[in-house]
Amino acid sequence: MSGEGDGAMLGLAAGDTAGGQWELGYSAITEQVTVIAYQLIEGGALDLDAVVTALRELDGSDEEEPVYRAESPQFRAWLDRAAAGRPVPEEDPSLDPAPRAVPLGVAHRRDPSRLRDQALALGRLFHDDPPSILSGVVAAGAVAASCFGQSGRDLITGIVEIAEPAAATLEPDPVSGAEPGDLVEGLRRITRHVGVTDGDEALAVITGGGDPGPWDQVRAGLLLSAPVVDPSHLPVEQAARLGGSPLAAMVGGIVGARVGIRAWPWAFANDTWFAEIGRRLVRGPREVRDLPIPYAVEHHLISGERQGLY
């Protein structure tokens, strides 16, 4: 246990950068998570209406310039629907919910019921399909377990314990007809494979050689996150190869929660900011007025890019 999860935000931004969704650093994934983390620092829980407002502000809802970078097609479509009237959840499976839930795992690491309920609510705000919603719950649960140094089979077992009651609240998948309980069984089965450290091998274990979907990639990411390895950034590199920035950000959040605030071997902007956000999620104070305004930070990065200041 190192810092009780204070390195999660730093690890998430490192993973997002490693995945290369935005070629110059972290992308809209980290930008969304920062907004959510600010709410959790200040209020201790999510107000979903305030989440929508804050996310839309970064998209230029107040006639400002949009500052999202390399957002996923699903998130872009969600933003467009929110701007047109209301944020309608996305029907297609997505990796986006997994990194989005990382700060919930830190903020509610001592309250599994609240963690589960908030992760479900956040997932349903963006998504309709059960695997996507459940992926946010399991990511938050994995981060919470890592805050207390859990790893290996203990980590996966803890994830199953929080996923099972969450899955019981979900309806069968409207497309495939799969029962949510089957998703939990899929999590339980990976316990026997803990110790895999190669990304391709992890995905092969999950899919048996078939084409992976987002839920398969999430499970492969959990399998990569479970062992304690040296150097600690190797699971993030493997996840970046498998699922790009979304999966690497999720794995970075899980690993970062375990290893604490430390330097990552690749550079990215605003690392001290993310370290402080993580520290406040764990230890407070419950105050963000003395922290940089997220829109201002991201606008500065956008302006720097256009002036050639890399």
> Average pLDDT, stretch 77-102?
95
What does the pLDDT read at residue 103? 98
pLDDT in tens, 197-221: 999 999 999 998 888 999 999 999 9
- pLDDT value at 172 more than 90: no
pLDDT at 307 over 50: no
**Mean pLDDT of the region 228-240:** 97
The answer, yes or no, to whether residue 308 has pLDDT greater than 60, is no
- Provide the pLDDT for residue 304: 63
Q: Tell me the percentage of the chain whose pLDDT exceeds 70.
A: 96
Measure the CA–CA gap between 30 and 33, rounded to whole angstroms: 5
Tell me what the mean pLDDT of segment 246-253 comes to: 98
**177, pLDDT greater than 50:** yes
The domains found in the chain, sorted by start residue, are 3-306 (1.10.4080.10)
Q: What is the pLDDT of residues 60-77, one digit of tens each?
A: 987 889 999 999 999 999
Mean pLDDT of the chain: 94
Q: Is the pTM of this model over 0.85?
A: yes
Q: What are phi and psi of 26, to 5 degrees?
A: -75, 160
Cα separation, 55 vs 170, whole angstroms: 26
pLDDT tens, 93-133? 999 999 999 999 999 999 999 999 999 999 999 999 999 99
pLDDT at 306 over 60: no
Rg, the chain, Cα only: 18
Which of 109-124 are b and which e, b meaning 16 or more Cβ less than 10 Å from the residue's Cβ? beebeebbbbbbbbbb
Can you give the pLDDT at residue 176?
65
Least confident residue range of 127-136, 139-148, 173-182 = 173-182
